A = this chain, B = another copy of it.
Amino acid sequence: MIIIDGCQYANWSEQIFQEMKEGGVSAVHVTVTYHEDFRETVENIADWNRLFERFSNYILPGRTADDVRRAQKEQRTAIIFGFQNCSPIEDDIGLVEICHQLGGRFMQLSYNNQSLLATGCYEDNDPGITRMGRQVIAEMNRVGLVVDMSHSADRSTLDAIEISKRPIAITHANPKFWHKALRNKSDEVLKALGQSGGMLGFSIYPHHLKGKSQCTIGSFCEMIARTAELMGVDNIGIGSDLCQGQSDSVVEWMRVGRWTKQIDYGEGSASDAGFPPMPSWFCGNRDFGNLVKGLQDYGFLEEDVEKIMGGNWLAFFEKSFGPA
């Protein structure tokens, strides 16, 4: 069984890479950028290059599905770069290809707020994909940079599914029918995503879970089963949104960036501003076995467990990461 995580933003260290190995994780889509501009993104990638050099016994750059297969064979973890915002391309469509050349494989078109391309899920109004957004989606399609709409609003997401000539992803979110959070997705979005061959990665970030930190593995697996009925068992995977070892200053950067002088609490609140505690059954990269067992206990067929735990992501990488 191949295990792939569709989204993490950990405080990367040898210990976490070791835990990935113990957890049998063959690939992780890691967040390189929240609000960083192009130059800052390059700096983050240079940091990753140093980690690849130093910890080559644990990790390797993941740019193709073959890199992921190689990682599995060598019991290492392929690190796939993604951007949670379109800030790395700034206002320049020419930076789409540059970001792909630097290893980027996923880019969100907006992060909570309105961007130059699309609307975020916290805005009051969503006009859909913008003029620049249409141009950028075509360019992302051309080079093989996957459109990710995890933090976008519904109309923009439906537009993106329609405009994109290649399947898109929502790397980390859950269905709204299960837990009504602004970040979770409507049935309409999930159906359109499934029908277009796109992928949903299920998030284990407590604000996206029914019962938050107290959510049970049984409830989580039931949600997966119901979502599989809605959008097909071939279009779902894990996107844990694990922020292992990060301090609360990091969640403030995610929420506030540089766009406001006030504090924005996002999915939290003044009294609950930091990272929420993870559910007991998924605290880190060693816990993927709990998900496998949870799905098996719930009664999923073994082949479906394999698809959900990584097979679907691998097939999606295969068709998505190269030029059109």
Contacts and interface: CB of A to CB of B under 8 A. Distances in A.
A35 B130 contact: no
Interface string A91-116: 11110000000000000000001111
Nearest to A122: B131
A214 to B, nearest CB: 31
Interface residues of A, number: 32
Contacts of A125: 127-128
Interface stretch (A70-78, A240-248, A252-260, A300-308): A252-260
Contacts of A119: 127
Given A35-B91, A37-B91, A123 B113 contact: no
A90 interface: yes
Nearest to A96: B261
A126 interface: yes
A280 interface: no
Given A127-B126, A130-B123, A135 B262 contact: yes
Interface of A: 35, 37, 87, 90-94, 113-116, 119, 122-128, 130-133, 135, 139, 257-262
20 contacts: A91-B259, A92-B259, A93-B258, A93-B260, A94-B261, A113-B132, A114-B114, A114-B116, A114-B127, A116-B116, A116-B259, A119-B127, A122-B131, A123-B127, A123-B130, A123-B131, A124-B127, A124-B128, A126-B127, A135-B262
